[in-house]
């Protein structure tokens, strides 16, 4: 038995621990967060009021008040056993970062006190020089600052050796430029708020509305595999995905004697994650997602976007950490295994006002419906005009395997509305009424929009931007991504369209006088203009790719090319207008993300090179030797003792050996070419390098993989060290 086979044996005999949780969730939900309710109990009335004004209107609290809150937060955290605190932030790499500090300060020789000042709550100064800034921060002012985001509650994270108070923060440069993903999201919420309130105010029944927020629920897909396999797969460790591996043959799916235990193991894991998430106030529900073997999903209950984004990052960290406790590894890569379903993050997005209304929920009155259609038309227009930005918001190396690759949805952005809504819009578009009153709207068929049941809207699972009853679902987001940027981009482009719709309505009122008629006229015009972005059919079909081309919709499968739109003049102007990104901030992101794409591919290629040389080729040689000596022996025995050997059988052995020899040859030859290509790329700029990697390196890596996988299928099981697909996915 080789190492791999040995492990297989281990995995098969894993015993499950029973996790029993007799405590009802309601007793511990949110117990590890410094929630608004807890804060209220521990600070003075005045300070709490000031804090609330800060959250609602952005008027900052005084330093004395910050001190008071910091003190309460510290006492609460220490009572819960925390000894450290950290500013928790989201640098542009997409991970989260922390810099831990102890609560302890030295007050004199040999004397310590527990201290955590208001200053330290509000602002931190991590050694930031190692985080990418895309040129925003010159090296001579390498400082970056973290600043408290009071809208997201602080929380306590437990590790084996202790507990840490984590304070959600933004991360900015000395001059205030955003070095993270959170600040642009907060800014985009502000832009959206202004625009949405502006539109709502035009409607008589909304006079009381003061604030609109975006809401979000990100369904998180992931794979789980046994840690033993993971440790033997260099590619999973280094890159998060398998760079080689033959598909599992049919029938292997039915190793059901182990399937039962797998399920229970995973279930235990899910309960454990859910319990930890609840403590942090993250409202998740577990889901079994049987699309691919060992692929699952967590779906949260939606929250305010900023919170949803923080919680999604936090949830991913918990999921990774807790998996290890269960002897599992949680994979977030968009395509860990070739040939089977990849993982995404369905971003459910909507708008809510401070009166508790969901703006994407058609109502019961004509006014509600007209408003719903106005908001809907703004969404259509935003996606129609800025599909390229949506595409850019999900552009990363991992997602390239999902979008526009051969076994995934195309990279074409379109909107699915469902038949009912589609029909209604078609009717409005063709409507010939020139004078429309409330009663006429009834005639028009939209006085009482049918309840858009999920059933009627959710049938099409292939659309990248689908209306799924009272919300839109952006499905192109990658499973490993931080959702802050996609949300910030959605918020911004929709803010712009909401402004446009409001301005058009005002204009139309000048000529029409009748408000409803004016609104309907604007909606109808937008519906007409944006028709090309709507698609109700199968997005995975070849016909759609052709049809989309005819309509002039972009289909950009290259990450680098998709990112280019961020550096375009119009887009810079758009983000500057809405104060979400300055020109420098946007261009910096463009550079960082292209650079990260290149780094990812270089790590992949180097890992593949090493695996080929250290594992695959030696296994090939071992088997080659075995075959050669068997053949040699037969031929000799035939000669020496006249062994009767069937000529065809002998020939077959020769063919087999030749196949193995040539597979090894192709693997080696292409790997050498790959190394040369990497060498060549070193001279190129990031942009040119990304182009080369997309057009040449990736196909070459696929080519190498094809031959390696062929080899895996013929080489003796004994010689093959790398855990196989059928093992990782089914046992
Ligand atoms: P499905 O079962 O098809 O996935 P659900 O209605 O259960 O659809 O919701 C899926 C996700 O959408 C959940 O995470 C949920 O919290 C989120 N969601 C529901 N309503 C909204 C909303 N108004 N805004 C944002 N997200 C929402
Ligand atoms: Mg979904």
Mind listing the pLDDT tens digit for each residue in 290-320?
A: 667 888 899 999 999 999 999 999 999 999 9
Q: Please write the tens of the pLDDT for every residue from 486-510.
A: 999 999 999 999 999 999 999 998 8
Give mean pLDDT, residues 404-430: 83
Ligand 1 centroid to residue 217 C-alpha, Å: 6
C-alpha to C-alpha distance for 213 and 235, rounded to whole angstroms: 41
C-alpha to C-alpha distance for 25 and 303, rounded to whole angstroms: 19
Ligand 1 centroid to residue 302 C-alpha, Å: 6
The response to whether residue 466 sits with its C-beta less than 6 Å from ligand 1 reads no
Q: pLDDT-derived band of residue 251, with 50, 70 and 90 as boundaries? A: very low
The response to whether residue 283 sits with its C-beta less than 6 Å from ligand 1 reads no
C-alpha to C-alpha distance for 730 and 295, rounded to whole angstroms: 11
Instruction: Give the number of the ligand closest to the Cα of residue 457.
Output: 1
The response to whether residue 357 sits with its C-beta less than 6 Å from ligand 1 reads no
Instruction: Give the number of the ligand closest to the Cα of residue 471.
Output: 1
The response to whether residue 304 sits with its C-beta less than 6 Å from ligand 1 reads no
Q: Which of 709, 594, 714 is nearest to 653 (CA)?
A: 714
The response to whether residue 234 sits with its C-beta less than 6 Å from ligand 1 reads no
**pLDDT greater than 90 at residue 478:** yes
The response to whether residue 358 sits with its C-beta less than 6 Å from ligand 1 reads yes
Ligand 1 nearest atom to the CA of residue 301, by list position:
16
The response to whether residue 624 sits with its C-beta less than 6 Å from ligand 1 reads no
Ligand 2 centroid to residue 284 C-alpha, Å: 14
The response to whether residue 458 sits with its C-beta less than 6 Å from ligand 1 reads yes
Give mean pLDDT, residues 341-360: 93
The response to whether residue 530 sits with its C-beta less than 6 Å from ligand 1 reads no
Q: Please write the tens of the pLDDT for every residue from 593-613.
A: 999 999 999 999 999 999 999
Give mean pLDDT, residues 59-70: 85
Ligand 1 nearest atom to the CA of residue 360, by list position:
23
By most ligand atoms within 8 Å of CB, the mutation choice from 212, 214, 216, 217 for ligand 1 is: 217
Q: pLDDT-derived band of residue 469, with 50, 70 and 90 as boundaries? A: confident
DSSP 627-674: HHHHHHHHHHHHHHH-----HHHHHHHHHHHHHHHHHHHHHHHHHHHH
**Percent of the chain's residues with pLDDT above 70:** 87
**pLDDT greater than 70 at residue 262:** no
- Which range, of 255-259, 405-409, 481-485, 580-584, averages the lowest pLDDT? 255-259
C-alpha to C-alpha distance for 625 and 352, rounded to whole angstroms: 69
Instruction: Give the number of the ligand closest to the Cα of residue 216.
Output: 1
Ligand 2 centroid to residue 348 C-alpha, Å: 8
C-alpha to C-alpha distance for 365 and 439, rounded to whole angstroms: 11
Q: Which of 90, 91, 306 is nearest to 189 (CA)?
A: 306
- Which range, of 166-175, 399-408, 450-459, averages the lowest pLDDT? 450-459
Where do we find the tokens 């409607």? Answer: 203
Q: pLDDT-derived band of residue 161, with 50, 70 and 90 as boundaries? A: confident
Task: Kindly report the pTM of this predicted structure.
Answer: 0.91
Answer whether 294's CB lies under 8 Å from 258's CB: no
């Amino acid at each position: 038995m080789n190492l791999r086979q040995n492990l297989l044996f281990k995995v098969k005999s894993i015993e499950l621990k029973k996790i029993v949780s007799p405590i009802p969730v309601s007793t511990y939900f949110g117990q590890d967060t410094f929630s608004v309710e807890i804060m209220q109990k521990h600070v003075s009335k005045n300070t709490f009021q000031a804090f609330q004004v800060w959250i609602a209107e952005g008027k900052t609290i005084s330093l004395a008040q910050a001190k008071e809150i910091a003190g309460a937060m510290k006492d609460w955290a220490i009572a819960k056993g925390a000894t450290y605190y950290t500013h928790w932030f989201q640098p542009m790499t997409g991970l989260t970062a922390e810099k831990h500090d102890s609560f302890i300060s030295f007050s004199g020789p040999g004397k310590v006190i527990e201290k955590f000042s208001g200053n330290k709550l509000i602002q931190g100064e991590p050694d930031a020089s190692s985080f990418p800034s895309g040129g925003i921060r010159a090296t001579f002012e390498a400082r970056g600052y973290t600043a408290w985001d009071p809208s997201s509650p602080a929380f306590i994270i437990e590790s084996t050796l202790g507990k840490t108070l984590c304070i959600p923060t933004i991360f900015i440069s000395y001059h205030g430029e955003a070095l993270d993903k959170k600040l642009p999201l907060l800014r985009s919420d502000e832009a959206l708020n202004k625009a949405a309130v502006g539109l709502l105010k035009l409607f008589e029944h909304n006079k009381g509305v003061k604030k609109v927020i975006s809401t979000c629920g990100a369904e998180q897909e992931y794979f789980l595999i046994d840690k033993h396999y993971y440790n033997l797969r260099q590619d999973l460790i280094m890159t998060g995905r398998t760079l080689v591996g033959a598909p599992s043959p049919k029938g292997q799916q039915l190793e059901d004697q182990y399937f039962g235990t797998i399920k229970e193991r995973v279930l235990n894991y899910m309960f454990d994650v859910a319990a930890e998430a609840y403590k942090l106030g993250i409202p998740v529900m577990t889901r079994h997602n049987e699309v691919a073997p060992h692929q699952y999903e967590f779906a949260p209950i939606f929250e305010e976007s900023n919170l949803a984004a923080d919680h999604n990052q936090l949830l991913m960290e918990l999921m990774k950490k807790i998996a290890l406790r269960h002897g599992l590894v949680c994979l977030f890569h968009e395509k860990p295994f070739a040939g089977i379903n990849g993982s995404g993050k369905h971003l459910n997005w909507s708008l809510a006002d401070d009166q508790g209304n969901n703006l994407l929920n058609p109502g019961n009155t004509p006014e509600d419906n007209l408003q719903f259609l106005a908001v809907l038309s703004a969404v259509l227009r935003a996606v129609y005009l800025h599909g390229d930005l949506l595409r850019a918001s999900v552009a990363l190396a991992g997602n390239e395997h999902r979008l526009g690759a051969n076994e995934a949805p195309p990279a074409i952005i379109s909107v699915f509305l469902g038949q009912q809504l589609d029909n209604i819009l078609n009717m409005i578009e063709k409507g010939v009424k020139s004078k429309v009153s409330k009663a006429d709207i009834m005639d028009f068929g939209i006085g009482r929009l049918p309840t858009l049941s999920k059933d009627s809207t959710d049938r099409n699972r292939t659309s990248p931007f689908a209306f799924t009853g009272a919300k839109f679902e952006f499905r192109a987001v990658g499973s490993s991504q931080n959702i802050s940027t996609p949300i910030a981009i959605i918020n911004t482009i929709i803010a712009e369209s909401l402004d446009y719709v409001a301005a058009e309505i005002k204009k139309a009122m000048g000529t029409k006088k009748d408000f409803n008629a004016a609104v309907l006229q604007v909606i109808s015009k937008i519906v007409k203009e944006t028709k090309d972005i709507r698609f109700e059919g199968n997005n995975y079909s070849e016909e759609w790719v052709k049809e989309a081309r005819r309509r002039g919709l972009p289909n950009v499968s290259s990450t680098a090319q998709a990112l280019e739109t961020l550096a375009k003049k119009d887009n810079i102007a758009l983000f500057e207008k809405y104060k979400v990104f300055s020109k420098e901030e946007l261009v910096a992101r463009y550079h960082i993300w292209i650079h990260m794409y290149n780094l990812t591919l270089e790590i992949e290629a180097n890992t593949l090179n090493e695996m080929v040389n250290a594992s695959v080729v030696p296994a090939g040689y071992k088997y080659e030797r075995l075959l050669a000596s068997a053949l040699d022996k037969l031929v000799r025995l035939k000669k020496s003792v006249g062994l009767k050997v069937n000529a065809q059988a002998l020939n077959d052995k020769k063919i087999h050996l030749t196949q193995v020899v040539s597979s090894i040859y192709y693997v080696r030859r292409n790997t050498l070419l790959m190394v040369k290509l990497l060498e060549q790329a070193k001279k190129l700029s990031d942009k040119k390098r990304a182009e080369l990697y997309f057009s040449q390196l990736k196909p070459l890596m696929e080519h190498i993989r094809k031959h390696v996988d062929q080899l895996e299928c013929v080489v003796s099981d004994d010689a093959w060290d790398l855990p196989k697909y059928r093992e990782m996915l089914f046992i």
